């Protein structure tokens, strides 16, 4: 390899790595956006389903709401203790100190799925919960 080609190849490989990292970030952002849209749509469906059930059987749904709340609390305490809270402070802490929270269970995929599922269950049970925390 001649003296001219070696620096050019070194520059190209760095540019290629940067391009790969940017493409991975772009793909991740698109996938997260799609998950957020699906989450919002399913959340709307959950709220409408509860409203429909409440109009058909108001006493039954009013009586079942506390049981749904207790179920979500029990699930969170038993299987998903990292999913308590909104998650926004944990994400902000990782943004400010990226190396400290990369492998933290507070921002893991398991925790994110638990937050999404529990939020949807709360909405289906008549809970007044926000979608912003799990979306973050």
CB atoms within 10 A of CB 34: 10
Look up the pTM and report it: 0.73
Question: Which DSSP category does 7 fall into?
Answer: H
pLDDT value of residue 9 = 60
Residue 34 pLDDT class (50, 70, 90 cuts): very high
Least trusted range by pLDDT, from 15-29, 74-88, 101-115: 101-115
Tens of pLDDT, residues 93-127: 777 776 665 566 667 788 888 988 999 999 999 98
Cβ neighbourhood burial of 35 (10 Å; 0-12, 13-18, 19+): middle
**Phi-psi label, residue 87: left if phi above 0, alpha if psi -120 to 50, beta otherwise:** left
* 131 touches 43 (CB < 8 A): yes
Alpha-carbon gap, residue 74 to 135, rounded angstroms: 22
Percent of the chain predicted with pLDDT > 90: 45
Q: What is the mean pLDDT of the chain?
A: 83
């Amino acid at each position: 390899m001649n003296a001219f080609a070696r620096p050019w190849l070194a520059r190209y490989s760095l540019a290629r790595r940067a391009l790969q990292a940017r493409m991975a970030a772009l793909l991740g952002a698109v996938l997260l956006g799609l998950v957020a849209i699906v989450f919002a749509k399913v959340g709307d469906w959950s709220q409408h389903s509860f409203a429909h059930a409440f109009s058909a059987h108001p006493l039954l749904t009013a009586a079942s709401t506390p049981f749904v709340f207790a179920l979500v609390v029990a699930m969170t305490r038993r299987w998903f203790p990292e999913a308590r809270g909104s998650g926004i402070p944990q994400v902000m802490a990782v943004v400010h100190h990226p190396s400290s929270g990369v492998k933290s269970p507070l921002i893991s995929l398991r925790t994110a799925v638990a937050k999404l599922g529990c939020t949807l269950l709360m909405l289906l049970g008549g809970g007044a919960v926000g979608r912003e925390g799990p979306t973050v």
